[in-house]
Amino acid sequence: MTNPGTTLLAGPGTATTATAATAAAPETAGAPGITAPGIAAFRTAMGSFPTGVTLLTRGSGDDTVVMTLNSLTSVSLDPLLLLVSVKREGRMRPRISEAGSFAVNVLAEGQREISTDFSRPDRPAGLAAMRLLDAVEGVTGNAVLPSAAASFECRLEAEHEAGDHVLLIGRVVALAGGAPGTRPLVFHRGRYTALA
The CATH number linked to 123 is 2.30.110.10
Query: What's the confidence (pLDDT) of residue 69?
Result: 94
Domain encompassing residue 170: 45-179
pLDDT band at 132 (very low <50, low <70, confident <90, very high): very high
189 falls within a domain = no
165 falls within a domain = yes
- Choice among 19-33, 38-52, 103-117, 130-144 with the minimum mean pLDDT: 19-33
16 falls within a domain = no
Tens digit of pLDDT for each residue in 48-95?
Answer: 777 899 999 999 999 999 999 989 999 999 999 999 999 999 999 999
Tens digit of pLDDT for each residue in 154-189?
Answer: 999 999 999 999 999 999 999 998 878 889 999 888
Q: How many domains does the chain have?
A: 1
What percent of the chain shows pLDDT beyond 70?
A: 83
127 falls within a domain = yes
169 falls within a domain = yes
Quote the pTM value.
Answer: 0.78
8 falls within a domain = no
Residue by residue, DSSP assigns 41-82 as: HHHHHHTTS-EE-EEEEE--GGG-EEEEE--EEEEEETTEEE
24 falls within a domain = no
